[in-house]
Structure 1
Amino acid sequence: MVKRVDEIDFLKCIFILLMISFHLVYIGDTYPYAKQVVYTFHIPAFFMISGYVMKVDKPVIGFMKNVLWLLVPYLIMESSYILMASFLPIREHIPNLSFEVFLEKLLFKPIGPYWYLHSLIICSIVYFMSFIRYKDSGTLVSRLVIASVTLGFISLYWGIISLSSILYFLLGVCIRQSSTEFLSFFKSSWLAIAGFAVMIMFPENLDRFTLGGLLITYLAVSSLLALYSILPRFLAVFFNYIGRHTLVLLLFSPIFTALVKPLVGFLSFEQTGMLFLLVALIINVAGCFGIGLLMDYLGISSFVFGKKKIMQSVK
């Protein structure tokens, strides 16, 4: 069983807030280089963490239930996003939406942030099938080869998952299967901050599927762990709580990302955009958590997430 690690929740919090930040068109357009830097490490780190915490030492039924409760919210939210993209003037606008296009987007080429869930579901199933009864047959290396080849084939033949997503997910799997603790592999280091700053100065490193991108991801995680070590307790609890609810934020943040767009003009007197970013993040987090709490109150969470309450109590 994978023990819950507070530092991982903190990392997830930072990465999901960065995702929301740069899904705000105004912020992404105002700070394109910062967006490129963030996109180099935040999704790769998410996949690495997902590979690390994924549990495959369980019966088939138990595992498939976990997959089901990723699939259900994915189908609901991706379907809604596709329909929304057919009549709203967003960057992923779909003109003349047909049933064939709808199925293509839903099953093979998802749009919006939900592509992450789509890729995670694929990686999880292949990982489980490759490692089923692992201790009784085959070596760790052979299981990893099977998972890598299968996912690589899916990526290259069907193009429904990126090679970079596969790489980082399997790196997380390797860390977990080697019985290495997450905080032993990723070292909290103040020097990592300096290394990170140097690496991002060179645009050629800003590609997640390169050695430079891999190093930036490692340094970003190590740097954040160093920052976490000096956080006051109340801030650590606050960030960890957000980090335990990244699924809720991933699912519902597009609603509030769209709703806060008019605030750009209203807050234009602050020219850096940081005030807009702060307000937008507060609205996003509060709004997403509000939806989660409402779903718990109405009893909807059982049908969407497979649990009575999706919002956990503060610890």
Structure 2
Amino acid sequence: MENRVKEIDYLKCIFIILMIIFHLVYIGDKYPYAKQIVYTFHMSAFLIISGYLANNRKDARNFLRKFLWIFIPYVCMEAAYTVMSHFLPVRENVAEITPAVLIDKVFLHPMGPYWYLHTLILCSLIYYITFRYVRLSVVSRLVVAGVCLFALSYCGGLMNFSNALYFLIGIIVSQSGLRFTQVFRGTPLAIVPFVILCCFPANLDRGTLAGVAITWLSISLLLAIYNYLSAQVRWLTFFIGRNTLVILLFSPIFTILSRTFLPVFAFDPTGMLFLVTATFFTLNGCIAMAWTMDKLHVSRFFFGKKTILC
């Protein structure tokens, strides 16, 4: 844990909280433009961080073991989410549950936030194979990895190519030999171009150059804010940032349950009280689930570890 980059844990905390907030249907409907802005950069930045942290130095056995224990909880939660989407009145409604539908959602077209883990596994596999076994220059291997990701996206239809490109950006930053904070420098001046770009709806697309710029600027702006946080707030963001996997996996359970709070906050036209309560409830619910799994010694069967909270 001593080798973790604190600024990256902080960024992961902010982006996972934004994911929770705008997976609250009520908030997304109430603030559609804000949702559009956040959707332009929050998961894009997550993928850049994932590409930067991807490790191709492990032997094949350890690499496959690591992703096996991402794949297992991913399959369990994606299958459960698909089944839930058949019975509950959600937007991503599934008309019927069959083995073919489950296979399609798990292996080809995942639903909910789990598309990120699906993309992470595929991109990491391509990166590992390319940089471990292809004997070319770094630039050539980056080109090969890009071509493979393009093929999986446009020929195989297994992912969105713009998402794969953000992962590739993270790889490029990692291969440059520079620290993350050397490439993404925190500056409050980033707010000016960030606001200007976000004023035009055509820019709010992660698959455009404007989307890349907005993602880059969001990271720079957040790193500038990091410098002004107290030690206690930083500690909390580090804790949440270290545990984003369990939050991503379990958050749909609690964002759905949060709908029961809506009548309580009907008096608040802004929705801010609901937002704060539902986000707090979701974060604590996810951490509590992980803590319970650790205490019941279930984590070793679900995550391949004695304890998943860190």
If the TM-score is normalised by the length of the shorter chain, which range does it land in? over 0.9
Runs of 4+ in 1 over 2 A off after TM superposition: none
Cα displacement (A) at 1:16: 0.4
Which residue matches 2:267? 269
Tell me the equivalent position of 2:229: 231
Cα deviation, 1:293-315, whole Å, max 9, x if unaligned, reads 00000111111111111112xxx
Letter in 2 for 1:195: P
- Equivalent position of 2:175 in the other structure: 177
Q: Secondary structure at the match of 1:165?
A: helix
> For residue 67 of structure 1, what is the aligned residue in structure 2?
67
Picking from 121, 143, 146, the partner of 1:145 is 143
Correspondences of 1:95-174 after superposition (within 5 Å): 95-133=95-133, 137-174=135-172
Match of 2:248 in 1: 250
Corresponding residue for 1:48?
48
The Cα of 1:23 is off from its aligned counterpart by 0.4
Task: Measure the CA separation in 2 of the matches of 1:263 and 1:80.
Answer: 23
Match of 2:4 in 1: 4
- What CA deviation, in whole Å up to 9, does each residue of 1:30-84 have, x standing for no partner? 0000000000000100000000001111111111111111101101101111111
C-alpha distance in 2 between matches for 1:83 and 1:107: 15
What is the rounded CA distance, in whole Å, between the counterparts of 1:146 and 1:192 in structure 2?
33
The Cα of 1:167 is off from its aligned counterpart by 0.6
Partner of 2:238: 240
C-alpha displacement of 1:133: 4.6
Give the Cα–Cα distance (whole angstroms) in 1 for the partners of residues 177 and 301 of structure 2.
35
Q: Does 1:88 align with 2:92?
A: no
- RMSD across aligned C-alpha pairs, in angstroms? 1.3
1:283 aligned partner: 281
Q: Which residue of 1 aligns with 2:35?
A: 35
- State the aligned residue count: 310
- Alignment partner of 1:297 out of 288, 295, 298: 295
- Alignment TM-score, normalising by the size of structure 2: 0.98
| Amino acid across the alignment from 1:295 | M
- Within 1, Cα distance between the matches of 2:76 and 2:209? 37
- Shift of the 106–133 alpha-carbon distance from structure 1 to 2, 3 Å rule, reads closer
Shift of 1:99: 1.6
Counterpart code for 1:222: S
